[in-house]
Amino acid sequence: MADTTADYDAQLDVDEPELTEFTSESTAPSEPTRKPTASAPGAGTGRRKQAIARVRIVPGAGEWKINGKSLAEYFPNKVHQQIVSDPFKVLELDGAYDVLVRVTGGGMSGQAGAVRLGIARALNGVDEELNRPVLKKAGFLTRDARVPERKKAGLKKARKAPQYSKR
């Protein structure tokens, strides 16, 4: 039995050519990666909860106008300012575009999310081939579909029931 396994091992060594170079058919010469630039204007609509934002971006100095106010005036909370400007940070385009926004409905958090989606869609429209994979991976092109649950008949709110009394 030992003879057959030795013969088999020897046969394997003879039949297989020795590999000295590794290649893969899937790797093609890659083109140099381009960096996103502020080249063209864009527009996008964003929605979140009850808020709707209409966004226009124009190549410029990085000025923000949200309902006629600056970014710091309209969103005094730093978290909301960060949420709104995230698409520019991810694409490394801080200060490359002037942003004009009209936003209605909802509260501050919903409006910030709506503006972020609108900006991401506008940047996607400017250069889809370059911007879309980065924005998609960061999750900025996905509409957050969560909305408040409706009030039901016989209940005080969507799920809160009146207090039960046995007697």
Q: What is the pLDDT of residues 103-119, one digit of tens each?
A: 999 999 999 999 999 99
Q: Are strands 97-104 and 51-59 parallel, antiparallel or unpaired?
A: antiparallel
- Residue 40 banded pLDDT, cuts 50, 70, 90: confident
Q: Which CATH number fits domain 42-138: 2.60.120.920, 3.90.180.10, 3.30.70.380, 3.30.230.10?
A: 3.30.230.10
Q: What is the pLDDT of residues 41-63, one digit of tens each?
A: 899 999 999 999 999 999 999 99
33 vs 126, more confident: 126
Q: pTM above the 0.85 mark?
A: no
Reduce the secondary structure of the chain to three states and give it as a string: CHHHHHHHHHHHHHHCCCCCCCCCCCCCCCCCCCCCCCCCCEEEEEEECCEEEEEEEEECCCCEEECCECHHHHCCCHHHHHHHHHHHHHCCCCCCEEEEEEEECCCHHHHHHHHHHHHHHHHHHHCHHHHHHHHHHHCCCCCCCCCCCCCCCCCCCCCCCCCCCCC
Q: What is the pLDDT of residues 121-142, one digit of tens each?
A: 999 998 888 899 999 999 999 9
Would the pLDDT of 155 be above 80? yes
Would the pLDDT of 8 be above 70? no
108 vs 18, more confident: 108
Handedness of CA 62, 68, 73, 77 (dihedral sign): negative
